[in-house]
């Protein structure tokens, strides 16, 4: 039984169960435990044992509220598709917020040709309007290479993403884990989500798995790419924040002195790698530091849990060392730890096309190009294999990403974006940064919406000319 009134869906409890409310007033328990859902979708509650399952119907369902998933959901909604975005945390942003990366790197070629625009640029513009992001600038990486970036405040980003999705509009379901996937042949028909309140069945014409660990595709039996030769999973990082910092002293530190301090930290074990890389929180005297290096086994839940603890241990040791030894940090304290590890690498799905390092290096042009990137190959090696492989392309070089790399084999109505892109290990090491992930998300979201509205969800049936035109009209860069 359910009662629907206006846009409220109230799931009543037995009438004899009461809850003492504010001011000592006794009200029916159902009054205090109402479930509120927007009325944009069609609701029906199914009593299938305990707990009750709520079913919602959408054009497009996006799993994973990281930056790729957010860009996908925004793009889908802007195409007029009813859209649901599912996120396991209580906030959006993925690595940008839960991982507290603190910067978006890789927007342009070395010659300053901007190749990431569209929805990604819209998100940054909204952040900048609130004072939550710096202007686009450049910095020197720990490798000595010059790179472009936008620094941002992860806390402000959470709020800005809420506002953008609400305005789109996109329905957002937080604290939701994949419980089950309903597949019929080459189609995914629905995902069942486990939430603190109830089970939610979300049906859709098109689905996008932007969850990073590809939770939907894994449960649906997708084919994943085998490891490349001597490929090893890149280590993860637990970001930490220090403040207050004297940035004038820290920024003016000569390289020789900095390298000597870092070498001391490495020798003592306080620093896990030869880096003191940081991104300043806009408008503050604090910074997020990217120093820790945690080896992970993504397929071992207990190992992942232990890795979270190891990341925090490393962060505390590194913070204490910087405070004691690094000029500009002497008055700082460890103010924040990222909620979770930032994972660089995990499983990648096998798509209709597997992007390779050779294609990126050659700047191969595809008829179905839907996004571009320019970030170099950047591989963080596990301990004992050397610290980092960083290989830049040409001065004004960028590469193309075809839609086929976002379409998993064996499925007709599913796309992926972000960390799940179909690419070799080395190619993925260039594609993995968040601006490129947002570009892929915009492409996936636009394609999914067009498929849902005109092709019964079949993403391969979307006219490529129409898709590319819609992306360009929305500001995306698809090549010169």
* Element of type H or E holding 443: helix 434-454
Residues 6+ apart with CB under 8 A from 135: 128, 150
DSSP for 226-238, please give it: PP-TT--PPPBB-
Q: What is the DSSP letter of 116?
A: -
CB atoms within 10 A of CB 265: 24
Using CA of residue 95, residue 152, residue 116, residue 142, what is the dihedral sign?
negative
Token pair 């080896």 in the structure block, residue: 295
Rounded to an integer, what distance in angstroms lies between the CA atom of residue 419 and that of residue 105? 15
Bridge partners of 8, per DSSP, are 5, 36
Q: Radius of gyration (Cα) for the chain, nearest Å?
A: 23
Residue 391: per-residue pLDDT: 85
Rounded to an integer, what distance in angstroms lies between the CA atom of residue 126 and that of residue 161? 9
Residue 327: per-residue pLDDT: 97
User: Residues 134-151: pLDDT tens digits?
Assistant: 999 999 887 778 899 999
Rounded to an integer, what distance in angstroms lies between the CA atom of residue 36 and that of residue 372? 40
Rounded to an integer, what distance in angstroms lies between the CA atom of residue 432 and that of residue 344? 7
Pairing of strands 171-173, 187-194: unpaired
* Tokens linked to 65: 């509220």
Give the closest residue to 336 by CA, choosing from 153, 127, 141: 153
What's CA 431's distance to the chain center, in Å?
13
Pairing of strands 18-20, 26-28: antiparallel
Give the closest residue to 13 by CA, choosing from 22, 27, 5, 286: 27
Residue pair 416/214 in contact by the 8 Å Cβ criterion? yes
Residue pair 442/120 in contact by the 8 Å Cβ criterion? yes
What are φ and ψ of residue 200, in 5° steps? Answer: -120, 125
* Element of type H or E holding 325: helix 301-325
Segments of 284-323 assigned E as strands: 287-290
Query: Which phi-psi region, left, alpha or beta, contains residue 75 (left: φ > 0; alpha: ψ -120 to 50)?
Result: alpha
Give the closest residue to 225 by CA, choosing from 381, 64, 405, 400: 405
* Tokens linked to 195: 């939430």
Pairing of strands 287-290, 240-243: antiparallel
Using DSSP, state whether 335 is helix, strand or coil.
strand
Residues 6+ apart with CB under 8 A from 226: none
Residue 454: per-residue pLDDT: 87
- Write out residues in the chain with pLDDT < 70, as ranges: 1-51, 228-231, 381, 383-387
Residue 383: per-residue pLDDT: 63
What's CA 111's distance to the chain center, in Å?
27
Residue 306: per-residue pLDDT: 95
Preceding peptide of 51 cis, ω within 30°? yes
Preceding peptide of 169 cis, ω within 30°? yes
Segments of 273-375 assigned E as strands: 277-280, 287-290, 333-337, 369-373
Token pair 């996006």 in the structure block, residue: 62
Residues 6+ apart with CB under 8 A from 20: 26
Residue 7: per-residue pLDDT: 35
Token pair 């709020």 in the structure block, residue: 159
DSSP H stretches of helix in 81-199: 118-129, 154-167
């Amino acid at each position: 039984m359910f009662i629907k009134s206006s846009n409220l869906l109230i799931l009543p409890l037995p009438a004899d169960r009461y809850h003492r409310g504010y001011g000592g007033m006794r009200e029916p328990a159902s009054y205090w435990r109402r479930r509120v859902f927007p009325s944009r979708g069609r609701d029906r509650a199914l009593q299938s044992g305990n707990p009750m399952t709520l079913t919602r119907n959408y054009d497009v369902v996006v799993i994973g509220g990281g930056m790729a998933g957010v860009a996908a959901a925004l793009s889908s909604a802007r195409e007029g598709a009813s859209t649901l975005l599912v996120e396991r945390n209580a906030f959006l942003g993925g690595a940008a917020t839960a991982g507290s990366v603190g910067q978006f790197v890789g927007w342009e070629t070395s010659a300053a040709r901007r190749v990431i625009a569209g929805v990604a640029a819209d998100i940054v513009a909204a952040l900048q309007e609130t004072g939550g992001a710096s202007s686009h600038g450049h910095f020197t990486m720990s490798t000595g290479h010059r790179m472009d970036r936008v620094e941002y405040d992860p806390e402000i980003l959470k709020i800005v993403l809420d506002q953008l999705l609400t305005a789109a509009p996109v329905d957002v379901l937080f604290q939701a884990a994949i419980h089950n996937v309903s597949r019929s042949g080459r189609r995914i028909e629905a995902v069942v989500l486990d939430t603190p309140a109830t089970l939610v069945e979300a049906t859709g014409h098109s689905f996008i798995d932007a969850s990073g660990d590809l939770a939907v595709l894994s449960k649906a039996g997708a084919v994943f790419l085998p490891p490349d030769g001597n490929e090893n999973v890149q280590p993860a990082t637990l970001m930490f924040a220090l403040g207050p910092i004297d940035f004038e002293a820290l920024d003016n530190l000569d390289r020789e002195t900095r390298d000597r301090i870092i070498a001391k930290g490495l020798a003592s074990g306080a620093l896990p790698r030869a880096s003191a890389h940081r991104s300043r929180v806009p408008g503050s005297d604090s910074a997020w530091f990217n120093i820790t290096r945690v080896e992970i086994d993504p397929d071992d839940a207990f190992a992942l849990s232990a890795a979270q603890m190891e990341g925090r241990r490393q962060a505390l040791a590194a913070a204490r060392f910087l405070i004691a030894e690094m000029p500009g940090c002497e008055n700082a304290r460890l103010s924040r730890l990222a909620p979770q590890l930032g994972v660089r690498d995990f499983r990648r799905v096998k798509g209709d096309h597997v992007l390779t390092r050779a294609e990126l290096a050659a700047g191969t042009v595809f008829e179905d190009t839907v996004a571009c990137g320019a970030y170099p190959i950047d591989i963080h090696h596990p301990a004992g294999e050397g610290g980092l492989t960083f290989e830049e392309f040409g001065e004004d070089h960028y590469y193309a990403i075809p839609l086929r790399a976002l379409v998993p084999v064996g499925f007709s109505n599913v796309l992926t974006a972000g960390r799940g892109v179909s690419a070799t290990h080395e190619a993925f090491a260039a594609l993995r940064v968040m601006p490129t992930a947002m570009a892929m998300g915009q492409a996936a979201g636009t394609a999914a919406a067009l498929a849902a509205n005109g092709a019964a969800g079949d993403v391969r049936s979307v006219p490529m000319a129409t898709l590319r035109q819609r992306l360009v009209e929305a500001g995306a860069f698809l090549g010169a």
